[in-house]
Homo-oligomer: A and B are copies of this chain.
Amino acid sequence: MKIIDKMHEEDLNALLVLNPYNLTYLTNFRPSSVAVLLITDNPILFVSKMEIDDANLKSKVEVEEFKSLEKIKDIMKGRIGIESSMKIDTYKKLKKDSSVDLKITNITENMRQVKTNNELKKIIKALRIAENSIKYIDFLKNENDVAAEIEYFMRLNGASKASFDTIVASGNRSSLPHATPTPQFIETPILIDWGAEYNNYCSDISRTIIENEKQQEIFDIVRESQKKAIKAIKPGIKASYIDKVARDVIGEYGFEDSFIHSTGHGVGLEVHEGPSISKNETSKLQKGMVITIEPGIYIKNEFGIRIENMIHISNKGNVLNKLKTKITS
């Protein structure tokens, strides 16, 4: 187990894992109830009584029944790595009357950023499901029903679910980047942001269907921003630099104040995970990462345009999408 080497590097005697995505990554079992993984030379996954049979079928790690945090505390010794996402009340329970030395670490999250080939295959499958599911959508209905249909088609195509709440924002509602679909009949442009979850892995994609010249003008700026950002991707470069490249193009056309979110993010077991492709991110891109590049321009009370692709980093940025950038209804 590679994680053991990383633990040794950080002088940890054990690693305590509660975050369900980290648990899935390290054991192959996605818990739906309380679950705790204690990694030592003999890792044990503790799950609720009702999940023991299911966990035994799927987990790479030995499974035991979770009885209480206290019982796990009793077998912890020395310097224990904990996740930065640990809840404060769990932390306080662990500290209470205990001599263990708890050290926050992002070992698992950092490992998760660099995908194995096996993970990449699942991500690509999740992306294909999402892309294929939009091809036969009839857009002549209300936003809610379009979102419902996309999600239904994704499930029929093999997704376990939508990887996040589908956004179908049309007309002036497209100027709200995270708008929730409404019961209103669809207008143009139609901004759609959707993704599938397949075998625990996520995809994330956005397209905007446009109809007139003004929208085309903005669309072209966003597309240029995306292209240049993707072209700038290579291992070793700062994530913040890619954000700057995307932002500078939009700034050249005077729309810097209308690009109101970051340029992208990692995708894997979580639809949003590290690295963030944003101004304040300090990390560098690495071979094997999968990220989105999704610039957007949002003109208040008028409309918004966003285009989002998924990129796998080898020696350069490889676009994983097959769906064309400009789609029509």
Residues of A within 8 A of B (CB): 32-33, 48-51, 53-54, 82-89, 91-92, 104, 144-145, 147-149, 151-152, 155-156, 160-162, 165, 175-180, 260-261, 298, 300
Contact in complex: A87, B85 (CB < 8 Å): yes
In the bound complex, residues from chain B placing their C-beta under 8 Å from that of A152 are: 148-149, 151-152, 155
Copy total for this chain: 2
Given that A148-B155, A152-B148, A260-B49 are known contacts, is A33 also in contact with B87, CB under 8 Å in the complex?
A: no
In the bound complex, residues from chain B placing their C-beta under 8 Å from that of A50 are: 176-178, 260-261, 298
Can you give 11 A-B contacts (C-beta < 8 A)? A54-B179, A85-B88, A86-B88, A88-B88, A91-B91, A148-B152, A148-B155, A148-B156, A151-B151, A151-B152, A161-B165
Contact in complex: B84, A87 (CB < 8 Å): yes
- Other than the given A51-B177, A51-B178, A88-B104, 20 more pairs (CB < 8 A) read A32-B165, A33-B261, A50-B178, A50-B298, A51-B176, A53-B300, A54-B176, A84-B88, A85-B88, A86-B88, A89-B104, A92-B104, A144-B155, A147-B155, A148-B152, A151-B151, A151-B152, A151-B155, A160-B165, A160-B180
Q: How far, in angstroms, from A51 to B180 measured CA to CA in the complex?
A: 11
A148's closest neighbor in chain B, by CB?
B155
Q: How far, in angstroms, from A265 to B167 measured CA to CA in the complex?
A: 31
Given that A84-B87, A85-B87 are known contacts, is A33 also in contact with B178, CB under 8 Å in the complex?
A: yes
Contact in complex: B104, A261 (CB < 8 Å): no
Candidate in A88, A104, A149, A175 with the most chain B CB atoms within 10 angstroms: A88
Q: How far, in angstroms, from A176 to B178 measured CA to CA in the complex?
A: 36
Cβ distance A19 to chain B, nearest Cβ, rounded Å = 10
Candidate in A83, A89, A104, A300 with the most chain B CB atoms within 10 angstroms: A89
Q: How far, in angstroms, from A221 to B149 measured CA to CA in the complex?
A: 40
A106's closest neighbor in chain B, by CB?
B89
Contact in complex: B53, A176 (CB < 8 Å): yes
A85's closest neighbor in chain B, by CB?
B87
Contact in complex: A261, B54 (CB < 8 Å): no
